[in-house]
Structure 1
């Protein structure tokens, strides 16, 4: 069965190198930088509705060719002698018939041309960073608005006005 959501394939190390906060963190701990990227992508996935897949070159991590889910984001570490670009190209080919639209986040200009030729749309590291930042701001604003709108979580606040009126009439007749 096809997953009809849009898909965002992310070149993980390209984003870490392109986002200044992650680039600085990677100098201290590459694992922390990966974890922080994946946490932010998980929030973005929940907000945007896109299925997010992060791809990392396995030459920086033990355990070649691994695939797992972290924070609801699918994570791929490439196989031996396979680059993240090659893995992303393969995934674009495999997913092109099963997804509505495929986006690839990379700042590698050659990779951008290759994936565009295969029907995927591209986002640079900077463009994805802006989208993630905007989604985080929107989430915070939504939480703030929901909290100020109703500090009490009552059943009455969840009902449609016509249903609330019916219940009120029942209450008054008894």
Structure 2
């Protein structure tokens, strides 16, 4: 299963919809990102680890929350950046796993690339997510159109036959 590490604040500050939302509610922007990544992870059957910096929060300890089997949210400990957390995790996983790191930090991209992970800028990932959301919507629309609600689909064949005989006899 592919693992995608996402530098949360980097993405919030890069994606147009989240950048706008953060001015009214930073928590709202974080939650929108979590919801969006959840849909993306389920659709693509991949594991997403969303990492938020807490390196400027004095006394903060590392917190990891398993949202579901496709997404985990990590707040780093005091003094640790999202970049350093991601680097450690990528080193620990090694080259045995397919790993993608989403960040627009060019130094981080270079470091991750040297460790065998695929790098993707926040805006490239944004366009990928938009493409997937469109695919999900098209698939849902197609399913909605193809599912006609016909009474014969919901009742026993014997009863359908009896009703058809009654209809024809009149």
- TM bracket, shorter-chain basis: 0.7 to 0.9
Looking at structure 1, the residues matched to 94 and 26 of structure 2 have their Cα atoms a distance apart, in angstroms, of 31
Partner of 2:14: 18
Pick from 77, 80, 83 the counterpart of residue 81 of structure 2.
Answer: 83
Contact 2:5 2:101 in 1 (8 A): yes
Using the TM superposition, give the Cα deviation of residue 70 of structure 1 relative to its aligned residue in structure 2, in angstroms: 2.6
1:97-116 aligned within 5 A? 99=97, 101-116=98-113
Using the TM superposition, give the Cα deviation of residue 58 of structure 1 relative to its aligned residue in structure 2, in angstroms: 1.2
Tell me whether 1:40 sits opposite 2:33 in the alignment.
Answer: no
Pick from 94, 98, 118 the counterpart of residue 96 of structure 1.
Answer: 94
Using the TM superposition, give the Cα deviation of residue 60 of structure 1 relative to its aligned residue in structure 2, in angstroms: 6.4
Q: Which runs of 5+ in 1 are unaligned?
A: 157-174
* Pair 1:98–1:68, CA change in 2 (3 A): farther
Deviates more, 1:132-141 or 1:66-75: 66-75
Partner of 2:148: 151
1:114-142 deviation line (CA, Å, top 9, x unaligned): 00000000110111101111111000000
Contact 1:96 1:102 in 2 (8 A): no
Looking at structure 2, the residues matched to 102 and 28 of structure 1 have their Cα atoms a distance apart, in angstroms, of 33
Match of 2:41, SS state, is helix
TM-score, reference length from structure 1: 0.80
Contact 2:56 2:79 in 1 (8 A): no
Using the TM superposition, give the Cα deviation of residue 59 of structure 1 relative to its aligned residue in structure 2, in angstroms: 4.0
Q: Which runs of 5+ in 2 are unaligned?
A: 154-170
Partner of 1:165: none
Contact 1:26 1:32 in 2 (8 A): yes
Match of 2:13, SS state, is helix
Tell me whether 1:134 sits opposite 2:131 in the alignment.
Answer: yes
Looking at structure 2, the residues matched to 26 and 109 of structure 1 have their Cα atoms a distance apart, in angstroms, of 23
* Pair 1:152–1:24, CA change in 2 (3 A): same
Pick from 29, 46, 65 the counterpart of residue 25 of structure 2.
Answer: 29
Using the TM superposition, give the Cα deviation of residue 15 of structure 1 relative to its aligned residue in structure 2, in angstroms: 0.2
Contact 2:6 2:51 in 1 (8 A): yes
